[in-house]
Amino acid sequence: MNLDSVIFIISAAVTLFGAVMMIMQRNPVASVLYFILSLVAQAVLYVQLGALFVGAVLIIVYSGAILVLFLFVIMLLNLRGDEDLGAPSSPVSQLTKYVVSIGIIAEFAFVIWSTGFSSSIPTGIIAGASENFGSTEQVARLLFGRYLYPFELTSILLLAAIVGAVVIARKENGDEIESKAAAKTAADEVTG
């Protein structure tokens, strides 16, 4: 087994670990941090495949900007992940977790069995891909040409999600302030 295969296997394992831990976390801050770990490991895979620009975009744009923004929004809104999640889950929920886990493990085992580690993981230009795969020019042509509308719709969707989170947090925060003021008024009436 050569060094490229070892790097690929380690990066793939870290990617899967980060993704699974992101889903399993009850704390949203820890979930975002595991997601950043998964994206960095994916960037290593893209760099290994020769798509340097895509790997750099994953680290700079997604891990460095968008997810850090999400992290600050979560911390700013003071979202706590352990409030209602401590209750025991329903039997259907537990069955779903087990079925999905077994499916993922079976798929991972099938991929390992089918490759058998006999062939080395391709590096550089992927078979069947164009010579400028992952280059800035090709990504820009696709992103701002063919996929312009889905790209813009995704940015609007992310903006709406952030605005919605702020509105929900302000409404809950306002209700909390009103209930504290009412409790203080009631306490003042009793003591006064």
- pLDDT, residue 125, reads 46
What are the residue ranges spanned by the domains of the chain?
3-80+91-126
Pick the most confident of 20-29, 127-136, 167-176: 20-29
* 70-117 residue pLDDT tens: 777 777 776 554 445 455 667 776 777 787 778 777 777 776 776 665
- pLDDT, residue 102, reads 82
Give the DSSP letter string of 22-59: HHH-SSHHHHHHHHHHHHHHHHHHHHHTT-HHHHHHII
**pLDDT-wise least confident of 10-14, 31-35, 41-45, 180-184:** 180-184
Q: Which CATH number fits domain 3-80+91-126: 3.40.50.720, 3.30.1280.10, 3.30.110.30, 1.20.120.1200?
A: 1.20.120.1200
Taking residue 122's Cβ as centre, other Cβ atoms within 10 Å add up to 14
Distance CA 192, CA 185 (A): 10
Distance CA 36, CA 175 (A): 34
- Token pair of 130 as six digits: 């164009």
Give the DSSP letter string of 58-89: IIIIIIIIIHHHHHHHHHHHT--TTSSTTSPP
Those residues whose C-beta lies under 8 Å from the C-beta of residue 110, and which sit 6 or more positions away, are none
- Token pair of 92 as six digits: 């259907």
What letter does residue 145 receive in the DSSP assignment? I
- Is a pLDDT exceeding 60 seen at residue 126? no
> What does each C-alpha distance from 18 to 21, 22, 106, 161, 183 come to in angstroms?
5, 6, 19, 23, 44
**pLDDT-wise least confident of 61-65, 104-108, 125-129, 167-171:** 125-129
Q: Are 43 and 58 in contact (CB under 8 A)?
A: yes
* 43-76 residue pLDDT tens: 888 888 888 888 888 888 887 777 777 777 777 7
Q: Are 164 and 82 in contact (CB under 8 A)?
A: no
Averaged pLDDT score across all residues of the chain: 75
pLDDT tier for residue 6 given thresholds of 50, 70 and 90: confident
